[in-house]
Amino acid sequence: MKYKLGSVYFAILGAITLVFGAWEFGATLGAPVTTEIGWLEIPAGTWEEVWRGVVIFLAGALIVVGAFKLRDIHGLGKAVLGSIMLWIVAGCDIFGRILDSIASNEATWINSLDEFLATYGPPYNPALWLLPFSLVIIYFIHARRE
C-alpha cells in the first residue's frame, strides 16, 4: 500500500518538478511566462538559469520514471537520483542565501540583523519549494533497507 501511495506521490511531485524546470528555462529563453507569483519566484535572465531549469526538468523526469516502479530497486534508484539532483540545486540556493545574509558588500562588511533575517524571507524559487516534498524519498530508502 505504501508503495502505491508513494508511486502516486512521486509521480505528482515529478510532474510538478518537470513543469517548474520547463518554466525556468522557458522564462530565460524568452517564453512569455510570469516569473513571480506571490511567494514563488522563477529565476530567469542569465544562461545559468537555463542550466538550472534543465537540471530541474531532468530531475522531474527521473522522479516520474522512478515513481512508476518505486517498489523495484531500480525504480527507487531513479527517483533517488532525481531527488539528489533537486537537492543539488536547492542546496546551492540555500548556500547562496546563507552567504548573502552575512556579507553586505559595503563598507559595513556585515549585514544588520534585519538585513540578515530579510535574506531568508520569501519569495522562494521552485527548487526550495520542492525540497521538503522531495525529502519523503528518505523514508522509502529506509523502508527498503529494512
Partner 1 sequence: MKKILLAGNPNVGKSVMFNRLSGARATVSNYPGTTVDFTKSWMRIAGEEFEIIDLPGAFSLEPKDKAEEVARDMLEKEKADVVVSVIDATTIERGLYLTLEMIEKGYPVMVALNMSDVARDKKVKIDTKRLEEILGVPVVETVATTGSGLKELVSRIGEAKSVDVGAIKRRARGVRRKNVARKSLSVDERWELIDRISKQVVFRGKYKHTLKDVISDLSVRPATGIPLAIAVLFGFWAFFGAFAGFFTDGFAVPAFDEHFLPWIQGAWPAEGSIHYAIFVGDPEAACCFEAFGVLTSGLFVAFGVVLPAIAAFYLILTILEDTGYLPRLAVLVDAVFHKIGLHGFAIVPTILSLGCNVPAVTATRVLETRKQRFMMMALLAVFIPCGAQIGIMQELIPAYAGLILIYLFFGYFVTGAVIDKLTPGRSPEILIDVPPYRSPTMKNVRTKTWSRVAQFIKIAVPFVLGGIVVVNLLYWVGVMDWLEDVTAPVFLTWFGVPSVTVGALVMAFMRKDMAVGMLGGMSAAGLLTTGQLITSVVLVSIYFPCLATFIMILKEGGIRDLLKSLVVLVASFFIFGGLMHAIVTLAGV
Q: State the minimum distance, in angstroms, from the CB of residue 68 to partner 1.
A: 15
Interface segment toward partner 1; rule CB under 8 A; list 5-13, 28-36, 59-67, 128-136: 59-67
Cβ within 8 Å of residue 45, ≥6 positions away: 28
The Cα 24–Cα 51 span in angstroms is 9
Options 39, 47, 120, 139; binder of partner 1; rule CB under 8 A = 47
CB-side neighbour CA atoms (13 Å) of 15: 6
- What are the residue ranges of helices labelled H in 29-136? 47-67, 73-102, 113-119, 126-134
| Closer residue to partner 1 in complex, CB, 22/81 | 81
Give ∠ CA 13-15-21 in degrees, rounded to 5.
100
Q: State the minimum distance, in angstroms, from the CB of residue 32 to partner 1.
A: 22
The Cα 13–Cα 96 span in angstroms is 25
- Largest CA-CA distance found in the chain, in angstroms, rounded: 59
Options 1, 32, 38, 109; binder of partner 1; rule CB under 8 A = 109
Q: State the minimum distance, in angstroms, from the CB of residue 107 to partner 1.
A: 6
* Contacts with partner 1, residue ranges (CB under 8 A): 46-48, 51-52, 54-55, 58-59, 61-62, 73-74, 76-78, 80-81, 84-85, 88-89, 91-92, 95-96, 99, 102-107, 109, 141, 144-145
